[in-house]
Amino acid sequence: MIDEAIYDVIKNAIVTVPGVASFANFYANSQDQLKTDDITKAVELTSNDNTNRVKVHVILINGVNIKDVINEVQIRVKYELEKQGQFLRNYVVDVAVDDLEIANH
């Protein structure tokens, strides 16, 4: 079971990243189920020894520089998780872009 504080740290780090439309449900069986506000359905976490691997599933806004947005998500999530844990554990952050959303003008 993942500590709720970990989910909160990840969610708070991502919601302010420009270009992220929402979280993506990696359990989704259809396009209708993909978009989610539930961070627990958008994060996969695995651990070994002193390293945690976090995989975050997101939906980006169409037209953004995907590489830049992914890089920003990785930097923010890694920094906030390590800061919260006083750097006792190493975090590897992967970002999966599950869809692109067309922005309404």
pTM of the model: 0.90
Domain count, the chain: 1
Both tokens assigned to 58: 């997101």
Q: Report yes or no: 57 and 63 within 8 Å, Cβ to Cβ.
A: no
**Domain span at residue 31?**
4-101
pLDDT the model gives residue 11: 97
Residues 65 and 8: their CA atoms lie apart, in Å, by 26
Query: What average pLDDT values come out for the chain (105 residues) when binned by 10 residues?
Result: 83 96 95 94 90 94 97 96 78 96 77
pLDDT the model gives residue 84: 85
pLDDT the model gives residue 105: 58
The enclosing domain of 91 has a CATH number of 3.30.70.1350
